[in-house]
């Protein structure tokens, strides 16, 4: 029998409300979402990032569906950033960021995946222009980034899509799976779910070969580059080695994918459990202190021992998803332990939200993630444990499936 809710829905709902209140000041005067500092104030010295803007559109669309006062208008402010200054009307697609009227010479799959997710959730929430945004975002994403031969998305183009960066990465593909599941639910296009399965199949082939430590970095021919960024191991998006949080994030996404397919392959559940167990063995409290290390080498030895808030959030999502899928008590027990860790170390009761980065002794630092840029991981950790595995988050909440 599938497992029931592993965490107290009332505590999760209260934390959701606290997080949503913290982020209300995100609108940037230039349009889109500002990077938030420790107290939730916009840090105008940092760029307006498309991925943060899209995440805020997603989060506040979900809050609107849940009836939170003012959330719809805030979602619209984020969407206006995506349809306005961050949107390239000349070459198409979305700039990665904006600072002082200047754009980098980059169009990134990671950002485009989040635009698709934001448009999907905003369409479910009935926000003006969301359906048109989703149609355009899907078309650009598929036309420019999808590599049909590799069955994965490429990573980065220059501004006018004339020069493709040789780097190939899994992070954008992982969030691509999330966005494809959500967009497939919203549009009713089952081919998007099948495309997500193609990506997952390729990524998991490499993960199996590495003992379920996921290779993230590849060359143009999709050959793994295990030493990528060895001299910059704490990179926020392309760290060296195996990323513990991505083992959990992939575990959860595989279960969402399984639940979304009419005839899912059996390996999806098996791979989810294997990834989860690898994350526990390599990542949880392995150096004498509670918390998850950020990365390990290819033998499982910790490389970056800082604790990132998003890793704990994804561990909670994966644990509750596996408990719901299998009913095994061990998943619920671990998840309750991890929620206790979040309450003790990550929740900032004074300034709000969650500390985004702690050192190995669980003291707040900001070397990789200064401030508290957005709400996406923490908010989803309060919602995923209360939802079935399908449909995806916004669609499930709109259907009344939230416990």
Query: Which of 380, 320, 309 lies closest to 62 in space, CA to CA?
Result: 380
Spell out the residues 6+ positions from residue 318 whose beta carbon is closer than 8 angstroms to its own: 248, 249, 251, 252, 272, 275, 276, 279
- Neighbour count for residue 397 (Cβ, 10 Å): 22
Peptide bond before residue 11 is cis, with ω within 30 degrees of 0: no
**Cα distances (Å, whole numbers) of residue 325 to 255, 266, 274, 332:** 8, 13, 14, 11
**Which residue, chain included where needed, has tokens 């996404």?**
253
Contact between 350 and 342 (Cβ < 8 Å): no
Query: Which of 398, 400, 402 lies closest to 185 in space, CA to CA?
Result: 398
Distance of CA 311 to the CA centre of its chain: 10
Q: What angle do CA 257, 181, 178 make, to 5 degrees?
A: 90
Taking the C-alpha atoms of residue 398 and residue 201, their distance in angstroms, rounded to an integer, is 30
List, by residue number, the catalytic residues: 246, 377
Query: Which of 109, 119, 110, 84 lies closest to 98 in space, CA to CA?
Result: 84
């Amino acid at each position: 029998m599938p497992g029931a809710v592993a965490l107290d829905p009332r505590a999760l709902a209260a934390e959701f409300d606290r997080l949503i209140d913290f982020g209300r000041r995100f609108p940037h005067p230039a349009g889109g979402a500002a990077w938030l500092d420790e107290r939730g104030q916009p840090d105008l010295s940092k760029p307006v990032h498309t991925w943060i803007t899209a995440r805020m559109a997603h989060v506040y669309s979900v809050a609107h569906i849940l009836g939170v006062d003012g959330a719809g208008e805030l979602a619209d402010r984020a969407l206006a950033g995506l349809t306005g200054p961050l949107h390239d009307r000349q070459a198409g697609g979305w700039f990665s960021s904006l600072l002082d009227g200047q754009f980098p010479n980059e169009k990134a799959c990671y950002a485009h995946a989040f635009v698709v997710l934001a448009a999907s959730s905003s369409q479910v929430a009935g926000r003006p222009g969301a359906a048109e945004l989703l149609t355009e975002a899907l078309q650009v994403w598929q036309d420019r980034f999808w590599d049909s031969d590799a069955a994965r998305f490429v990573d980065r183009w220059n501004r006018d899509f004339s020069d493709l960066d040789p780097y190939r990465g899994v992070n954008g593909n992982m969030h691509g799976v999330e966005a494809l599941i959500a967009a497939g639910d919203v549009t009713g296009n089952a081919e998007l779910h099948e495309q997500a399965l193609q990506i997952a199949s390729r990524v998991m082939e490499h993960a199996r070969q590495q003992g379920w430590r996921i290779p993230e970095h590849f060359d143009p021919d999709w050959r793994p580059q295990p030493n990528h960024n060895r001299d910059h191991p704490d990179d926020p998006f392309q760290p060296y080695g195996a990323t513990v949080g991505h083992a959990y994030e992939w575990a959860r996404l595989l279960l969402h994918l399984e639940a979304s397919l009419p005839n899912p392959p059996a390996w999806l559940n098996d791979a989810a459990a294997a990834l989860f167990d690898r994350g526990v063995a390599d990542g949880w409290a392995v150096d004498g202190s509670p918390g998850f290390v950020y990365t390990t080498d290819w033998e499982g030895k910790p490389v970056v021992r800082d604790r990132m808030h998003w890793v704990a959030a994804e561990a909670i999502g994966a644990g509750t998803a596996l408990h719901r899928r299998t009913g095994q008590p061990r998943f619920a027990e671990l998840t309750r332990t991890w929620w206790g860790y979040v309450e003790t170390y990550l929740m900032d009761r004074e300034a709000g939200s969650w500390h985004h980065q702690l050192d190995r002794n669980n003291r707040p630092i900001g070397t990789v993630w200064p401030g508290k840029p957005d709400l996406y991981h923490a908010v989803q950790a309060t919602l995923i444990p209360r939802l079935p595995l399908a449909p995806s988050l916004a669609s499930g909440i709109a259907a009344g499936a939230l416990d």
